[in-house]
Structure 1
């Protein structure tokens, strides 16, 4: 069955859009999975990342068009044989008003996007939704449609606090409001932008483990890589050793996510789980990492 996944955080600037785009690329180009990326942010950062990567100049329709038409398939843009995107633009600012004008109750307003996604989701193995760092009706629409939430936590205090609010307050409120209609499972907290030489960063990782539990924190950590900062500006490239290391890192993130999902779906909860890196270990490519190829990417 399709897995619908959100990389979320209430604090902005933690790299969740880049993470979402990179995992989408790994899912489709490395793992050969049918993948859909949905940009739910009016800033359209995921859209920009992907259109630069695949040199797309014209976007026929945006997500908002599909929402207004009641048919998300009208907004799907094919990037490769395995990767599609539903792009976003500033017209997403109209979505909350659209919902309020067209639906009389909170359930129909909140689950409208989820209802439309049901019609196309079975075409894919993975659907990744990029959301803004907010908690409004637009984000509610995306969140209630997802199966698994990965909480991206930058190793900064405000991000740590944002992770707690996202899990313990926001998600819990959705569950309280809509009960069994909420399919969300927190797949884990993903530490990001760690700088090993800064004691505070390491301390926040330790506090994260203490707060959420070792089993609920990803073993794979996104180190602070300059190359990741360039991709949103120029688009992803696959030209040298450093690019391959980034693909290897997100291949490990993808594999750990898959393993976590498998454990949830077979055992109900994660206990005594430690992911063993396959592609990038201690900052170096493994033999498997050296063999990485991207299929359908020029």
Structure 2
């Protein structure tokens, strides 16, 4: 059965998009069929994945155009035999206004992405959704369409606060999707020698308890290079970072299996 997961945090710059791309990349390498949905008008996930696999050229159909036509299959781009993406462009910024033009009923607006994804998600083991770092029609639609939420929490006080807000927003949206659950909170870009980092981890353990992932992503310069140039596995530094992510992905899969 397909599992749909939104990667979220209401603070920008915490590594959420890079995490969603790397999770997709590693899951497909293990043979899982994955669809990455870049549901952010800034389209950073699309850029990272396209750079990783050398995809060039103009999109035949943008995600927003497919949304307008109510057929997401028209925008799917095949990357590998086990990885597809619904790539974003700047025109996706028109999504909220498009929803308002369809209906004035706020409740119905929450379900539009879920309606569209149901037409294609049976083709995948995992659908991973990357969203903007805001409470918005993007985030609300993604959460209502999801089975799980993964919160990416950089070890800064503001990111911890935003992670808590993301969890609270998910609980509010359970009114529209009672099945959605918090799968966990991933500590991200952690400096184990940092005083603030360790304080934030302690606070997060108290706040999120068993939801806090045991494995975390440590601070590595190579992660910034992945974000800028795409994912590579050409040397020991690449492999070290990918192995670190793989441990988090393994815990991610274990948590889903436990559910």
Which position in structure 1 is the counterpart of 2:239?
244
Which position in structure 2 is the counterpart of 1:122?
122
Which position in structure 2 is the counterpart of 1:175?
174
1:139-174 per-position Cα deviation (integer Å, ceiling 9, x unaligned): 211111111111111100000111111112x11221
Decide whether the 8 Å contact of 1:145 with 1:183 is kept in 2.
no
TM-aligned CA deviation for residue 104 of structure 1: 3.3
TM-aligned CA deviation for residue 208 of structure 1: 0.4
TM-aligned CA deviation for residue 200 of structure 1: 1.3
Query: 1: distance between equivalents of 2:44 and 2:62?
Result: 13
Q: SS where residue 179 of structure 2 aligns?
A: coil
Which position in structure 1 is the counterpart of 2:220?
225
Could you tell me which runs of 5 or more consecutive residues in structure 1 were left unpaired when the two chains were aligned: 265-298
Query: 1: distance between equivalents of 2:129 and 2:184?
Result: 16
Which position in structure 2 is the counterpart of 1:268?
none
Which position in structure 2 is the counterpart of 1:235?
230
Decide whether the 8 Å contact of 2:4 with 2:146 is kept in 1.
yes
Show structure 1 runs of 4+ deviating over 2 A. none
TM-aligned CA deviation for residue 182 of structure 1: 3.6
Query: 1: distance between equivalents of 2:170 and 2:232?
Result: 35
1:252-284 per-position Cα deviation (integer Å, ceiling 9, x unaligned): 1111011111112xxxxxxxxxxxxxxxxxxxx
Correspondence 1:283-298 to 2 at 5 A: none
Query: 1: distance between equivalents of 2:133 and 2:203?
Result: 22
Correspondence 1:109-258 to 2 at 5 A: 109-168=109-168, 170-176=169-175, 178=176, 181-213=177-209, 215-258=210-253
Which position in structure 2 is the counterpart of 1:269?
none
Query: 2: distance between equivalents of 1:160 and 1:236?
Result: 27
Query: 2: distance between equivalents of 1:135 and 1:160?
Result: 16
2:62 is aligned with 1:66: no
TM-aligned CA deviation for residue 6 of structure 1: 1.5
Decide whether the 8 Å contact of 1:64 with 1:88 is kept in 2.
yes
Query: 1: distance between equivalents of 2:104 and 2:12?
Result: 32
Aligned residues: 258
Q: With structure 1 as the length reference, what TM-score do the two structures score? A: 0.84
Query: 1: distance between equivalents of 2:6 and 2:39?
Result: 11
Decide whether the 8 Å contact of 2:132 with 2:138 is kept in 1.
no
- 239-248 or 117-126: bigger deviation: 239-248
